[in-house]
A = this chain, B = another copy of it.
Amino acid sequence: MSAAAREGPHPAEETGAALHALVAELYPICRSITGDGVRRTLAILDRYLPLTLHEVPTGTQVFDWTVPREWRIREAFIEAADGTRVVDFGVHNLHVVNYSTAVDAVLPLQELRRHIHTLPAQPDLIPYRTSYYEDRWGFCMSHTALAALPEGTYRARIDAEHFEGSLTYGECLLRGETEEEVLLSAHACHPSLANDNCSGMAVLALLAARMAGRRTRLSYRFVFAPGTIGAITWLARNQAHTHRIRHGLIVAGVGDAGAPTYKRSRRGDAPIDRIMAHVLRHQTPGARLRDFSPYGYDERQYCSPGFDLPVGLLQRSPFGEFPEYHTSADDLALVRPEQLAGALALIEAAIEVIEQDRRLRNTLPFCEPQLGRRGLYGALGGDANAAKRNMAMLWLLNQSDGTRSLLDIAERADMPFATIAATAAVLEREGLLVPA
């Protein structure tokens, strides 16, 4: 797959363009933790991977939580006395507090202000606000626009309803040779925020499409669900099978200009933690590794102490630490094609390690085998890479005593896993390495 990504004319550019186009298609939809926004989103993703849709009825108990009512919004605006719409949900869906209750009232600006959220420090941006678990209505707008409003009375109208419906999520399992699973999940509940998390959904959808024809050792499960309550619902309905999850990645906010950030699982030393550290180190300068903390995305649920699953988080700029976070500036300009493609390449590289890591045994462990006689010295790749390949051979032969995996060896040799794995394949063909 990563080989495929390197082939053809400008494939990284093509991949980036395809990803950005998908982000752009997902971006305008007004998602929430329930409702048609999620369904329309999953319908788009279904073009890339065959999604099984789940509808979980309002009121269903999921651990300590209850599936909330479904939310439907038709329109929302603030109208001046002269009929001008000074705020309009139709223009930007961040203008309404997500999951807001309905209202239709005329009230003085002074009173209305208590229902309006702005960002005084970023006066031209609309903030993203939610009120999932408290009945409230509200609008969001730029501080500049609010300041420009003359005093007077305004009509505030939010035509929304909460009703007994269901929570929606989608999943897709690409079956491999074993039941061991790799979980790949992106939250699907944020409205028009391009990086958070159209980027994560797009990268996972295209990844699945590229893996579709491939024979893999592990099975790959893709989950697109609303943040927190969606993950909790998925875990409640799949508790009996979570032991199959060998590795997991939450993917969110992977399109901005920042270098990748990997946040370790609660275990801290799970294989996925080592794998991501390795891949980031060799593939992306400036990559950041962070220890687990219980604040963040859905890794919070997967890494709760009852589950303690080996699930980490891949993002670029860490959430909450870039100025566009949770504002209208998280738009299609923030998300860059090459950054989306780079994130996809990272996950594909991690999957290569997951698929190919194994323990081998040197069949001639006493002294070095005579490589020159076998034509192996310099036989691999071009001249420029010959020295590197020779070193990879020496490392593999020296370390393959049955106790060390290819990843162990790549780490000790400080070489990319791909180089070690490709060289291992050559030495296996020569009979110098066999499965341990």
What is the interface of chain A, defined by CB distance below 8 A to chain B? 62-65, 133-134, 228, 231-232, 235-236, 239, 266, 293-295, 300-301, 303-308, 362, 364-370, 372-373, 391, 394-395, 397-401, 413
Contacts and interface: CB of A to CB of B under 8 A. Distances in A.
A366 B235 contact: yes
A63 B305 contact: no
- Of the candidates A231, A294, A364, A401, the one having the most CB atoms from chain B within 10 angstroms of its own CB is A294
Contacts of A372: 133-134
Given A133-B373, A372-B134, A401 B305 contact: yes
Contacts of A401: 305, 308
A266 B62 CA distance: 51
Contacts of A305: 362, 365, 397-401
19 contacts: A64-B364, A65-B367, A228-B368, A232-B367, A239-B366, A294-B391, A294-B394, A294-B395, A294-B398, A300-B394, A300-B398, A304-B366, A304-B367, A304-B397, A305-B362, A305-B398, A305-B399, A306-B366, A307-B367
A307 B303 CA distance: 43
Contacts of A368: 64, 228, 232, 294, 300-301, 304
A316 to B, nearest CB: 23
B65 A304 contact: no
B366 A397 contact: no
Contacts of A397: 294, 304-305
Given A64-B367, A266-B398, 20 more contacts: A63-B364, A63-B366, A63-B367, A64-B370, A65-B367, A65-B370, A134-B372, A236-B366, A236-B367, A294-B394, A294-B395, A300-B368, A301-B368, A303-B398, A304-B367, A305-B397, A305-B398, A305-B401, A306-B362, A307-B366
